[in-house]
Structure 1
Amino acid sequence: MHVSRVLRSIVAVASVGAVLVASPSWSATPAAKAVLKPTVHAHASRSADSGPAVHHDTSPPLRELWQKSRQLRRAPHVTSPSKGPHPSLTKAPGPDRVVQNHDGNRGRIRSGVSFEGIREGGGVPPDPNASVGSRQVVEITNFELAVYSKSGATLLGPLTTQTLFSGFGGPCETAQSDFLGDPEVRWDSLAHRWIINQFASDDGTTTNRLCVGVSRTADATGEYYRYDFGYQNLPDHPKFAVWPDAYYVIATANAAGTLFEACAWDRHRMLRGADADQQCYTVPASTIPLGSDLDGTTPPPRGEPNLLINLGPTDDSLQYWRFHVDWTHQARTTLTGPKELKVAPYIRACESTDPTQCVPQAGTAQKLDSLSYSPMYRFAYRNFGDHQSLVFNHAVDARGGVGVRWYELRLQHGRPVVHQQSTYAPGPTYRWMGSVAQDKVGDIALGYSQSSSQTHPSIRITGRLAHDPRNLMTFHETTVWTGAGSQTGSNRWGDYTSMAIDPVDNCTFWYTNQYQPADGTGNWNTRIASFRLSDCQTRRQRGYRHR
């Protein structure tokens, strides 16, 4: 969030495939761990951060912590612009051949519930994301957390994210706002629990933590099992994923932004509040990979590794790793990769100028960061029984603007293949900061920010049905909310938005993003909206099959 935006100007590195077999588990204290050198290694390696959580406990109900603390909203903290431009990787041959330059013909998407989320929490970027449980919606930003009913009523908050760690001790409770952030919230659809994660540090260099809360029940306002895991380097920009054998997180592992750390947390022990280990590996890459993140209640086949995805060393490829964790015999844990997956060539957004000063806005010369050097959260996984499917996106140049390149990958014998891919760019405007997911029959919804020199940043969505022709978003682009202002004074629009699936019907999408109600810095609002692309319940009953 605040500490290391210099990491956005990431130096590309070439990495080679490797197979790593983990060493046996050990239980050294954080002080005894060896310091990682900020150098680029040719292969992934076991990290000294592996070992037990520094501390864990069980919290009082979050609603009681909120009533006791009633912490004031923090004063705005404005981050400095990214240090760019981002150095180019090896360019791919030829232009983008999979641009969708026309809108879909299915008509606009009808919204279900739409309501205001957290607003004006102070500073930029807000990094809004949300998840949906059996009865509640939980939204989190860099600054605050709130719990809503599915009709949009506020059940709890907004409260500062640190409220969850009141009485816990260490930087999770005491870190200042400059060294706290990049939170994410996820619903564990197999266990019916909430998981909240964010980084915290005393000063960004010495005592570094990832702070994790796992709810004891399906009620997000109740008690949490709290954990903090220690790191030698600041785990900035962490990306979190739910998988049956572990909770996976990938974050930065050195100040140069050339080395990242992939960690598995012992999910089964954390779900009951027991002592829990993490197994971590350092991974050389061009930017932070995403871990496959489970949607639905059908788990992957037993023993299926968590798949890590990243943009490739050339702009016609992706990279992937397979992370299989073994908690009984940690020496059997393996991290294999990277392997390369060829895709249609693309040009990263504003690569020829500056991707960190890329997206124009109406009424201001301030341009926004496209984050085109990074895959966008989430790497959503779903097991349909007859196939396993994963979707994600990133921002690319698109005929006078910026478009969203999205992919559906499918696993064949455990290896990903490209099932479909396209750059959504109907018309010369700028679309970025996307998030994508699938419902239980394979319909795909894509949400993103949109802006141009004539329009303020707005929230839009599109989608496709599973049986539609491949490589096309077939629904007409639909505006969820039109911004009334532009962001001035900072290029940091955000690190992610979020598309989530309602676990009750596995048909309803919930999208969360930000907008400006007026020109300014730190005066953002967020919006949460639900919608369906089809009556997927009926189609399931009719024996619907995917293309």
Structure 2
Amino acid sequence: MNFKSALAVLVCGLGVASMSAQSQEQLQHATFISNGTFLGTVPSIADQLANGTFIPAENIQGEVNPKRADTPKGVPGKGALGGPDPLMERQVAHAGSRMATDPLITWECATSGATPSDPTGAVGPDHFVNSWNSAFRIWDKDGNSMTPAASLATIWSGESSGDPIVMYDSYADRFFISQFAFPASFLVAVSTGPDPVNDDWYTYEFSVDQFPDYPKWSLWSDGYYVTANKNSGNAGNTEVIYAIERDLILAGEASPQMVGFPLPDIVTAGFYSPLAFNGNGSVPPPAGNVPVTYVQDNTWAGVSSDHLKVWTVNVDWSSPASSTISDPEIIETEPFDGWFDGGSFSNLPQPSGPDIDCLQAT
């Protein structure tokens, strides 16, 4: 999928009003360059179950991350639509014309009392790996459990801080699991083969300048990319988007590189979560030109109209200091409201139990 096609998919749900491309000649170089630390090759989950080193999941109750950052902040009355949401009305009007497909199979994967539970998962050819705060479990695709629920510390000794992300790297036929760690780092593990039960895991730590809350990972042919909810209020001048050297990680090499960039001209309002595009399918995208996008809501201070911003990252692993990020391309959208309930993290009522978090500013 090329960049323009990907943008069309991204913005179709928001209703594009116009696109105003700022000059891509305005580039900033990487402002952060470092190397990850290889923590070692961790034995497979099957081996750990056999030798008694497997660590069962904890029954966590209550707040997992006491450093969870501020809620999104809007300006009451600013940018309000003042009537029905036109995009919602459009969706309702066309609901009857959409074909619904029943799922082939469903099953209960996990029950968690953690706040937030942060569920995540990825499907490969033969397995489904799901994770939550602060555990994971592996299933076959018929819903049969292949392992008990495991603490994240089964992969990273002594570390089960949380905010896990699971990806299936279809271009390498590997599984990827991550979490954050205190005081300020990303922990990464990649399976040594396609079987997350019987294959070992290469494990790494990548340190950054501030605690990387709410990390969100993406797959591209030339790297694994991650954003974090950090440096809010100064995200245009300090690192928010990072790339790590995928080829070396897949090979279990000792010192994969990491580069980081700010997001020029971004506006944030407390909690925020930009995201790099994610490669999918059997053919990897060409290296470079990785889009990173974030919504800009006119209920926030400093934003005059609803729009998206899209930056382009190009990493040069042979000369990391030459890596660049562009100024943003601005995509005007139909008006929308993305801030509600005062920015609360508990805003979606459930039939029973506490309200859950329908994330805002993401």
Matched with 1:309 is 293
Gaps of 5+ in 2: 1-21, 297-302
- Indicate if the aligned counterparts of 2:45 and 2:54 stay in contact, CA closer than 8 A: no
Q: Could you tell me how far 1:190 is from its partner in structure 2? A: 0.7
> In the superposition, relative to structure 1, how do residues 156 and 315 fare at CA in structure 2: closer, same or farther (>3 Å)?
farther
Please give the secondary structure, in 1, of the residue aligned with 2:327.
Answer: strand
The alpha carbon displacement at 1:355 in A equals 4.5
Contact 1:251 1:260 in 2 (8 A): no
Alignment partner of 2:317 out of 327, 332, 338: 327
Indicate how the Cα distance of structure 1 residues 72 and 262 shifts in structure 2: closer, same or farther if over 3 A, else same.
Answer: closer
Q: How does 1:324-473 map to 2 (within 5 A)?
A: 324-350=314-340, 353-362=342-351, 367-374=355-362
User: C-alpha distance in 1, partners of 2:210/2:278?
Assistant: 25
Contact 1:349 / 1:370 at 8 angstroms: preserved in 2? no
* Structure holding more helix per residue: 2
Q: 1:308 to 1:136 in 2, by over 3 A?
A: same
Alpha-carbon distance change, 210 to 83 in structure 1, aligned in 2, over 3 angstroms:
closer
Q: Give the structure-1-normalised TM-score.
A: 0.53
Give 1:252's match in structure 2, choosing from 224, 229, 241.
229
Whether 1:76 and 2:61 are equivalent positions in the alignment is yes
1:294 alignment partner in structure 2: 279
SS of residue matched to 1:210:
strand
Contact 2:184 2:212 survives alignment (8 Å): yes
The equivalent residue for 1:86 is: 73
Provide the rounded CA distance (Å) in 1 between the counterparts of 2:188 and 2:201: 9
In 1: Cα distance, 2:69 partner to 2:258 partner: 31
2 CA distance for matches of 1:356 and 1:243? 31
Q: Select the structure that is richer in strand.
A: 1
Q: CA deviation at 1:317?
A: 0.3
Letter in 2 for 1:19: L
Matched, 1:262 2:241: yes
Whole-Å Cα distance in 2 between the matches of residues 290 and 91 of structure 1? 24
Distance change (3 Å), C-alpha of 1:349 and 1:134: same
What is the aligned counterpart of 1:132 among 123, 131, 139?
123
How far apart in 2 are the matches of 1:211 and 1:85?
26
Which residue identity does 2:181 align to in structure 1? A
Task: Report the equivalent of 2:34.
Answer: 51
Give me the CA root mean square deviation: 2.8
Give the aligned residue type for 1:233. Answer: Q
Summarize the alignment of residues 172-187 of structure 1 with structure 2, pairs less than 5 Å apart: 173-174=158-159, 180-187=161-168
1: CA distance, partners of 2:305 / 2:131: 33
Structure 2: distance between partners of 1:164 and 1:264:
22
Counterpart of 2:191?
A: 215
Q: Distance in 2 between matches of 1:21 and 1:190?
A: 28
- Aligned partners of 2:348, 2:175: CA distance in 1, in Å? 34
Q: Aligned partners of 1:83, 1:21: CA distance in 2, in Å?
A: 29
2:346–2:357 CA contact under 8 A, matched in 1:
yes
The alpha carbon displacement at 1:134 in A equals 1.6
| Residue 239 of structure 1 pairs with residue 219 of structure 2 | no
Contact 1:253 / 1:261 at 8 angstroms: preserved in 2?
Answer: yes
Q: Which amino acid aligns with 2:127?
A: Q
Give, in whole Å, the separation in 1 of the partners of 2:347 and 2:145. Answer: 36
Tell whether 2:181 aligns with 1:200. yes
CA distance in 2, matches of 1:266, 1:64: 28
How big is the shift at 1:342? Answer: 0.8
What secondary structure does 1:254 align onto? coil
State the distance in 1 between where 2:100 and 2:48 align: 43
Query: Per-residue displacement from partner, 1:199-241 (whole Å, max 9, x unpaired)?
Result: 011xxxxx42211001110011220111100112101100000
Alignment CA distance shift 1:254-1:65 (3 Å): farther
Indicate yes or no: 2:114 matched with 1:114: no
Letter paired with 1:57: G
Shift in Å, 1:340: 1.2
In the other structure, the counterpart of 2:261 is 281
Residue type at the aligned position of 1:101: V
Alignment correspondent of 1:519: none
Using the TM superposition, name which of 81-90 and 132-141 deviates more.
Answer: 81-90
| Alignment-mate amino acid for residue 296 of structure 1 | G
Please list every run of 5 or more consecutive structure 1 residues that lacks an aligned counterpart in the other structure: 1-15, 23-45, 167-172, 202-206, 375-547
The C-alpha deviation readout for 1:5-59, integer Å capped at 9, x for no partner, is xxxxxxxxxxx9952124xxxxxxxxxxxxxxxxxxxxxxx03xx2111333212
User: Matched residue of 2:163: which SS?
Assistant: strand
Over the matched positions of the two proteins, sequence identity in percent amounts to 24
Q: Which of the residues 187, 192, 206 maps onto 1:229?
A: 206
Give how far 1:128 is off: 0.9
2:46 aligns with one of 37, 52, 63: 63
Inter-CA distance 237–285: structure 2 relative to 1 (3 Å threshold)? farther
Whole-angstrom distance in 1 between the partners of 2:304 and 2:245: 35
Q: CA deviation at 1:133?
A: 0.8
Residue type of the alignment partner of 1:327: W
Q: CA deviation at 1:349?
A: 4.5
Q: Residues 189, 88 of structure 1: CA spacing in aligned structure 2 closer, same or farther, 3 A cutoff?
A: farther
User: What SS does the aligned partner of 1:118 have?
Assistant: coil
Question: Closer, same or farther in 2 for the Cα pair 1:117/1:357, shift >3 Å?
Answer: closer
Residue number in structure 1 paired with 2:250 = 271
Post-superposition CA distance 1:119-141 (Å, at most 9, x none): 23x42221111111121111011
TM-score normalised by the chain length of structure 2: 0.78
Whether the 8 Å CA contact 1:349–1:355 is kept in 2: the answer is no
Compute the displacement of 1:332 (Å): 2.5
What secondary structure, in the 3-state scheme, does the structure 2 residue paired with 1:264 have? strand
